[in-house]
Amino acid sequence: MKYKGRTVITSVVITAVFVGLGVRLAFLHLRPLPETLSRIESGRHLEQETRGPRGRILDRNGNMLALDIAAKHVCADPKFISKNGNMQDVCTALSSKLSMNRAEVWELLNQPEKEYVRIKKFMREDALEPLRAMNLKGVIFEDVPIRDYPKGVLGAHVVGYANFEGIGSAGMEQTMNAKLQGVAGLRISQKDGRRHEIYSQRTVDIDPQSGADVYLTIDQQIQHFAEVALDNLVAKYHPNAAWAIVQNVRTGEILAMASLPTFNLNRFSTAPAEWMRNRGINYTYEPGSTMKAMIVASALDCGAVRDTDIFDCENGAWFYAGKMLHDSHPYGNLTVADIIKKSSNIGAAKVALQMGNTKVYQSLRSFGFGERTGLELPGEDAGIVWKTDRWSKLSISRIAMGHEVLVTSMQMLSAIGAIANDGVRMKPLIVHKVVNTRGETILAPPPQELSRPIRPETSKLMRRLLARVTQPGGTAPMAALPGYLVAGKTGTAQKVDLVNGGYYNNKYMASFVGFLPVENPAISIIVVADEPQQGGYYGGTVCAPYFREIADQTVRYLRIPPEGFTTEYLTDIETSGSSEESISE
């Protein structure tokens, strides 16, 4: 009886407990209070948004120029560290391994009320290996993607950079941002008491998608040739800046675009804004004598002059429209062919006068001056070509020698490319193709014709006239390349004094623009130096040798065969021209 009573009581208690639990369970499951329900849900709910990696930027041969790599933020739990009493050790380890000031680390760690502080952001994984090996308690490594530029400074102005939020902010990173940006992934699931995801409760799982890969028309090897040549130029002549562009004459593809000073893309935030300037497209200048090539080409094309026509170059000083116009060397009579070869300002002015204002203006516009070339890089300048109603009587003589107009190097290269390419001006291309993650090409800009400023016959003649510039007696024999005939034009322009008006007497823009091989042009190159400080300032002295350096390596790299003929090719023009041998600008 005694035991029976205990049994009954125990059974009742157990039953009551289970009934209580059952009732609570029923309440929780069948009619939970809204706040209870939301508390449970929020505790369990797991929603992760994963950023899709940016697409890569590659050169035309698939060499990677920019890609997302895995990096880490180094974080810490000061509350945990202070509780465990190893603050000193952790602080010492972090400051030494992360190359940080100890006081700075201590200040971050000495916040015992906090459970999370970020010690250092965007650390590369390999740099963190020693720290991770120490297995410090309370130190957390947070995964984060980081944009990396494995080639460093190579093509910095073209590739550009993406900021720390992963948004393209310069160069191709900016222009192609929409295509490069990945699509974020989403995972909705539930987590257990240890905050681990319960896989079986995963309801939404969308993988992040990588952005498309952008292949540039740039060739990293040719880019390297250009950058090394510019380094050599800067080392010898100490200009404020120097830049060069290499273009495929037939398609308009940019093979290299270099500008000095430059910067390392992996440390873009520390570079001065001036270094980030892509001078090839956003620096406008008065081009000087390089403009004579376009003026003479147009004059020949419209029949205003013939290459054998002779002009009196007034022995180097000509009074026109109330102002004196000088040649750097005195010349008497020169044929049109020799005006190009000797780069006579007076001769070019007289050729332009033969054309008249309207035709000169039209020719400048048809060569693309005064408008953007449409290159897919941010910040391209249009330059300035005033309409004829704003011209003075003097303007035509000054424009013929490359003053009173502002151009970019890209425009000048595009114009010389038209002369090389049978009179067809091609749109400069920088994007070779864009390929999505499935390997499908979603964009491949085809070569595009912009204008036809001259006829093919004029182009052929101009190629031969410009080839004489690099021959003995021309202004740029230093641009000549053994085995090839090189055509080109030098430019040496005094810089405009924007403060006092007029021109500086001692500040010059030196340039050389040309192409090769003459008979079947493949590449065109422009080299520009802003204010060479020592050793000379003529385009033929400062820029032509580096044009040659780039051309020499590029023709071999691209396996462009020599033409098999040299100066004999120009004999008929030589015999018809004058025999002066002095080199001038």
- Nearer Cβ to another protein, position 224 or 507? 224
- Nearer Cβ to another protein, position 130 or 535? 130
Given a contact cutoff of 8 angstroms between Cβ atoms, the answer to whether 236 and 79 are in contact is: no
> According to the binding rule CB under 8 A, does residue 150 interact with another protein?
yes
> According to the binding rule CB under 8 A, does residue 519 interact with another protein?
no
CA distances to 134, 373, 431, 526 from 410, rounded to whole Å, are 54, 8, 16, 8
Strands 185-191 and 139-148: unpaired
By CB under 8 A, name the one of 79, 132, 224, 452 that touches another protein.
224
> According to the binding rule CB under 8 A, does residue 216 interact with another protein?
no
> According to the binding rule CB under 8 A, does residue 47 interact with another protein?
no
- Nearer Cβ to another protein, position 20 or 561? 561
Gap between the Cα atoms of 145 and 140, Å rounded:
16
Rounded-to-10 torsion of CA 523, 528, 65, 142: -170
- Only one of the segments 114-122, 152-160, 300-308, 540-548 lies at the binding site for another protein (rule: CB under 8 A); that segment is 152-160
Given a contact cutoff of 8 angstroms between Cβ atoms, the answer to whether 117 and 75 are in contact is: yes
> According to the binding rule CB under 8 A, does residue 425 interact with another protein?
no
Touching another protein, residues 447-476 (CB under 8 A): none
> According to the binding rule CB under 8 A, does residue 63 interact with another protein?
yes
- Alpha carbon 583 to its chain centroid, in Å, reads 36
What does the block give as tokens for 433? 């193709």
The minimum distance between CB 483 and another protein, in angstroms, equals: 5
- Nearer Cβ to another protein, position 161 or 331? 161
CA distances to 11, 17, 430, 520 from 5, rounded to whole Å, are 10, 18, 95, 115
Q: Which amino acid is at 74?
A: V
What does the block give as tokens for 421? 């390419």
> According to the binding rule CB under 8 A, does residue 198 interact with another protein?
yes
| Residues 6 or more apart whose Cβ sits within 8 Å of residue 240 | 530, 531, 533
By CB under 8 A, name the one of 23, 70, 167, 184 that touches another protein.
70
> According to the binding rule CB under 8 A, does residue 209 interact with another protein?
no
DSSP labels, 372-405: ----SSTT----EE--GGG--TTHHHHHTTT-SE
- Nearer Cβ to another protein, position 220 or 421? 220
By CB under 8 A, name the one of 89, 197, 519, 580 that touches another protein.
197
Cα-trace Rg, the chain: 35
Gap between the Cα atoms of 109 and 454, Å rounded:
72
Gap between the Cα atoms of 217 and 252, Å rounded:
10
The minimum distance between CB 227 and another protein, in angstroms, equals: 8
By CB under 8 A, name the one of 104, 125, 381, 580 that touches another protein.
125
Given a contact cutoff of 8 angstroms between Cβ atoms, the answer to whether 123 and 74 are in contact is: yes
By CB under 8 A, name the one of 3, 165, 199, 235 that touches another protein.
199
- Interface map 93-112 toward another protein (x if CB under 8 A): --------------------
- Only one of the segments 29-37, 59-67, 240-248, 301-309 lies at the binding site for another protein (rule: CB under 8 A); that segment is 59-67
Tell me the β-bridge partners of 168: 162
The minimum distance between CB 128 and another protein, in angstroms, equals: 12
Binding-site ranges for another protein (CB under 8 A):
63-64, 67-70, 124-126, 148, 150-154, 197-200, 220-221, 224, 482-483, 552-553, 556, 561-562, 564, 566
